[in-house]
Amino acid sequence: MHTLTIKNLHVSIDGKAILKGIDLTLNQGETIALFGPNGHGKSTLLMTIMGHPRYHVDEGEILLDGKDILKLSPSERSRLGLFLAMQLPVEVPGVPTADFLRSAINARREKPISLSEFYKLLNNATKEVNFPFDMVNRSLNEGFSGGEKKKNEIMQMRILNPLFALVDEIDSGLDVDAINYVAKALKEEQNAGKGILIISHYARLYEIVKPSSVVIIVDGRIVFEGDSSYVEKIDVEGYEWLEEEYGISLKKGEDAKPKVISLGSCAVKKNRAKEKNESK
């Protein structure tokens, strides 16, 4: 079984600490829903796992199947099986989407993919996410609508077939039909046994892509871990219950109250034990 392990990860951007000691394990076949208020480090975690050069790892480890990947470039991490579906996919004027995809596919192969095989792959992937085929001849993400960019991300994920998908707010800005296409594609990834670490603020996506567990990040730390029932709780109640029920401060930086006990870790252990007992 493949495993992505994050140990005591501290990350800063331009000298400002964002992540302050993240510990997380994602196994193949699991889907972890990453929640937390805006600006508390969720996207930073995903960008750091993928190796964006702006995100500086001050301390900690990221291990893929036990091998430290921190010294690897983003392209090496990608070829090892990581994929990041971005919240704001970058526009790259002048680089045709099809040319870029072909380069990405060939980066994983000894022999370049034939044109016919490539177009067959592309044709299937575009249909799957309802992405207009003629758009693959346009510059990468340039002039794409928000929905088209997100579909393009998911299409790339399907084509590149990673071990682990890091999915950052892929449903924001999508209409109902587009969410369904994207969610179904993610569901297929789940069914194929991929590990998925997903950020979304909306329960609708999780109705189709049901997570194995929920993790909440506040002020750069994981403060709570629970089962998938917490998706609904967060959707209905937000995050204030963390403070009311568990005394977890939702403030950032110096104003934040120091966390004394990681209730979330206990919760997840209890839930997992409960699930094991139930499955017996």
Which residues sit at the interface with another protein, rule CB under 8 A? 50-54, 73-75, 77-79, 83-84, 86, 89-90, 92-95, 99-101, 103-104, 107-108, 139-140, 156, 160
Q: Looking at beta carbons only, is 50 or 179 nearer to another protein? A: 50
Q: Are 118 and 102 in contact (CB under 8 A)?
A: yes
CB of 108 to another protein, least distance (A): 6
Could you tell me which residues come within 8 angstroms of residue 69 by beta carbon, excluding any fewer than 6 positions away? 51, 62, 63, 76, 77, 80, 82
Measured from the CB atom, is 198 or 248 closer to another protein?
198
- Nearest approach, Cβ of 54 to another protein (angstroms)? 7
19 - beta bridge partners? Answer: 11
Smallest separation, CB 225 to another protein (Å): 27
Residues sharing a CB contact under 8 Å with residue 67, sequence separation 6 or more, in sequence order? none
Q: How far is CA 204 from CA 70, 85, 109, 210, in A?
A: 34, 18, 37, 10
Vertex 50: Cα angle to 168 and 151 (nearest 5): 40
Count the Cβ atoms, other than its own, within 10 Å of residue 186: 26
User: Which CB sits closer to another protein, 8 or 106?
Assistant: 106
Minimum CB separation from another protein for residue 7, in Å?
Answer: 22
Quote the tokens at residue 220: 């750069």
Residue 6 or 214: the one with the smaller Cβ distance to another protein is: 6
Distance (Å, rounded) from C-alpha 177 to C-alpha 180?
Answer: 5
Q: How far is the CB of 32 from another protein (least distance, A)?
A: 20
Q: Are 95 and 140 in contact (CB under 8 A)?
A: yes
Nearer to another protein, 54 or 280 (CB): 54
* 76 vs 237 by CB, closer to another protein: 76
- Residue 268 CB, nearest distance to another protein (Å)? 29
Helices (H), 221-262: 229-237, 240-246
